[in-house]
Amino acid sequence: MLETPSVLLFTAIYLRTEKFDIRIMNVKTHSADASSGAIVPWREGPSTYTDHLKRELGIDGVALGVIDPRKPGTDEWLAVQGVKAAEITQWCAKGFKSDTLLRDARRKGVATGKTSKSKPGPALPASRHAAVFIQPAAVGVNRAWYLALSRKAKAFSDTELTRCDLALRMVRSQFDHTGEPDLGRVLLGDDNRLIHADPRTEAKFLKTPKIFDDLVAQLQPVAEQRWETLADQDLHEVTLSLGGQATWVRFYRGRGGRGIDRRHIYVEMRKSGKDDLPAVGLVDDDRTALAMGYISDNLVDTPGLTELAEFVETSPFHFHRLFSNHAKISPKHFLLRTQLQHAKWLLRASGEQIGQISILSGFASHGHFTATFHRMVGISPSHYREKF
């Protein structure tokens, strides 16, 4: 099995109390995805963070999300543990209106109290010490990063409250500061509304609304045509024309916790280069669409013409003609450009050795990768890395 590269998303966070010293350190939330051959930024960030809080602070209930405090939706939760889905749904429907901790946290940034079945409060287990944190997502918008915690043992100390507040700021900061010059991060609701975007991407949406309009108009229809099922956390990718620019879009659907009815969509957007895949939206033939999805999901295995034809249940000759007509590119070159797109990204965004990048991008050998890269891109992989 391949050893997957990782990039550390969190730096050290120290939570100190009178009885213990907790170090949440080097949490890996950029991990290589062997099926796609590429780094997956922020994919496990929320759940990894809440796992640490539960384990190290004795938390029995935690809810993390980017919510509209005026009317929160169940698709705005990023990680929920120890809380029943029905309680989240009830709180989003009407419970938030009488939640005094939410009201106080909106005013002061943090609020503490005791939960009970009779007293209005956050969607957390009853008879618990609770803490709620609110941090505005941006100036002038009705969205906020929200964190609610509960535990039975004792109230949260001032030190714990400060450290948890700082940790939430770090989660928010790691989403908003993408680390790649051309990377944009977006959270969409299941109705395609904007839940959150990193500041640079939100500024682009304000300057050129067509970028966002094209994204929400195309992403779900194209995804549903290329994949018969879109399971939670399954990472997929498409290249779409957004605001007139070919854009490489990687995305997955997710929900805050088991049983929560609505899902959000996490999206990463990068401008495509001249040698990358062309933008292809909806196509007139569903078999071509399914094949494009299959290629992007299995680029490491380099599926051949026969395998692709069998997948869509047609002959290799007919499939080649069908795909080329509808995608405006042959299956072979669609696969090759997909592999090179991943390779160029890894060269720019990771410190992996070129030999490992060739494997993660589906090339048979280092030599084959280098020769193909030079022929298609015009420079060697090492020169490309130095340049970008």
- State the pLDDT at residue 120: 60
What's the whole-model pTM score?
A: 0.86
Which positions of the chain have pLDDT values less than 70? 1-45, 118-120
Least Cα distance to 115 among 101, 104, 105 occurs for 101
- State the pLDDT at residue 119: 65
Least Cα distance to 341 among 267, 279, 285 occurs for 279
Q: Which residues of 35-67 are buried (b: 16+ CB within 10 A; e: fewer)?
A: ebbbbbbbbbbbbbbbbbbbeebebbbbbbbbb
Look at phi and psi of residue 16 and say left if phi exceeds 0, alpha if psi is from -120 to 50, else beta: beta
- State the pLDDT at residue 153: 87
Q: What is the 3-state secondary structure (H, E, C) of 63-76?
A: EEEEECCCCCCHHH
Domains of the chain: 6-176 (3.30.450.40), 180-282 (3.30.450.20), 283-388 (1.10.10.60)
| Alpha carbons 369 and 179: distance in angstroms, whole number | 26
Cα separation values, 185 from 76, 151, 158, 221, 346, Å: 15, 33, 33, 20, 18
β strands within 28-88, DSSP E: 28-33, 38-40, 61-67, 77-81
Q: Which two tokens stand for residue 138?
A: 């941006």
